[in-house]
Amino acid sequence: MRTIRSDLLLAILFGLVFPGILLNLLVFPRKYPTVTEFTHSSCDEPVEKVEISIRVRFEDGAVTEMDMDSYLVGVVLAELPASFEQEAKKAQAVAARTFALRAKTTGGKHDDGSVCTSSGCCQAYTSVEDYYSRGGKAESVKSAEEAVLKTSGQVLTYEDKLIQANYFSCSGGRTEDAVAVWGTDVPYLRAKESPGEEAAKHYTDVVTFSAEEFNEAMGTELAGDPQKWFGMTTYTSGDGVATMQIGGKTYQGTQLRSLLGLRSTTFAVEVVSGEIRITTKGFGHRVGMSQYGADAMAAGGSSYREILAYYYPGTQLIRAEGEN
C-alpha cells in the first residue's frame, strides 16, 4: 500500500512540476551562449529579419545605402561557389555581416563606415541582376537568400566587441596566426588545421621564373647559380614562410608573396634547370575562416555555428539590434 501511495505521489509531483519546467524554458529561452554551445539541431530555427543598413562603395566610386541582408545576398553569391553547402553559406553570411557592421561602427578601411565591392579590400559583391546576366541560376540565388535570412542579424563578438571576421578562399591545409601576417596578435585568429580543402581550385599552384624574371620581380641583381641564392628559411605556426634568405638578405614571407605575386605565404622554392620554381599551397592571407574548409566541415555534418566556433575560437554569436 505504501508503494502504491508513493508512486501516486510521484506521478502527481511530475504532473505538476515538469510542465512548469517546460513552460519556463519556452517562455524564458536562453540568451546566446558562446558559439561552441550551439548544436546542429537548432540551426534551422525560423529567424525574424533584423533591419540594418550599410553603405556600399561601388567600383565607380558611388556610395549607396543598402539593406544589410540584401547586400549580404550579393556577397554570398560573389564570395562562394554556388555548389557550396548551405551551412557554409550561413557561416559566410555571419562573417560578412560581422565584417560590414564592424566597418560601419568603426569607420572601416574607407574611414566613412562604407564597405567596397573589392575582395582584395573589403568583400566581393554582385547584384542579383548581374549574377543572372553571367548565367547564375535561380536556385543559387534562393540558397543565398535563405542563408542570409536564417542568420539575419547574427554577428560574432569577442569580449562584447565585433570581431575582425577575416576569411579567405583556401588555406592549403592549415590557417595562419594573425600576428604572422599583420604583426598583431588576435586571440581568436590563430593557426588551425583545415582539412578537406583539396577540391579548391588553388589548393596548390606552381609559378616558374627565369633568373632574369626573378631578379626583375625582386629588384635584385643576383648572378651565378640560382641554386646558391637561397639560404635559411624559417616558418610560422601556420606552416607559412616567416623569413627566407635570398642573396644574403633576409625577406619576410609576406614581403615575398607581394613581390613575387604568390597566392599565399605557404610556399616552397626549388631550382630546376636554372629556373626558380615556386609551389604554393592555399589562396589568400589564410587568417580566420577558410571558405573551402568551411564547406568541408559542412559536408561532414557541421552546422554554421560549429564552423564559426572552429575558425573563430572563443567568440560569441549574438543577434545585433535592428535600427527600426
One-letter amino acid identity for 166?
N
pLDDT beyond 70 at 42? no
What pLDDT score was predicted for residue 138? Answer: 97
Q: What is the pLDDT of residues 182-219, one digit of tens each?
A: 999 999 999 999 999 999 999 999 999 999 999 999 99
Of 322 and 134, the structure prediction assigns the larger pLDDT to 134
DSSP class of residue 34? B
- DSSP 3-state of 41: helix
Q: Across residues 44-57, what is the average pLDDT? A: 83
CB distance 216 to 289 below 8 Å: no
pLDDT beyond 80 at 324? no
Identify the sign of the CA torsion 60, 61, 67, 72: positive
Task: Give the cell for residue 256.
Answer: 615575398
Neighbour tally for 242: CB within 10 Å:
15
What pLDDT score was predicted for residue 323? Answer: 83
Q: What is the pLDDT of residues 254-305, one digit of tens each?
A: 999 999 999 999 999 999 999 999 999 999 999 999 999 999 999 999 999 9
Rounded to two decimals, what is the model's pTM?
A: 0.83
Of 98 and 38, the structure prediction assigns the larger pLDDT to 98
Residue 31 to residue 13: CA distance in whole angstroms: 29
- DSSP 3-state of 139: helix
Identify the sign of the CA torsion 58, 119, 256, 259: negative
What pLDDT score was predicted for residue 37? Answer: 34
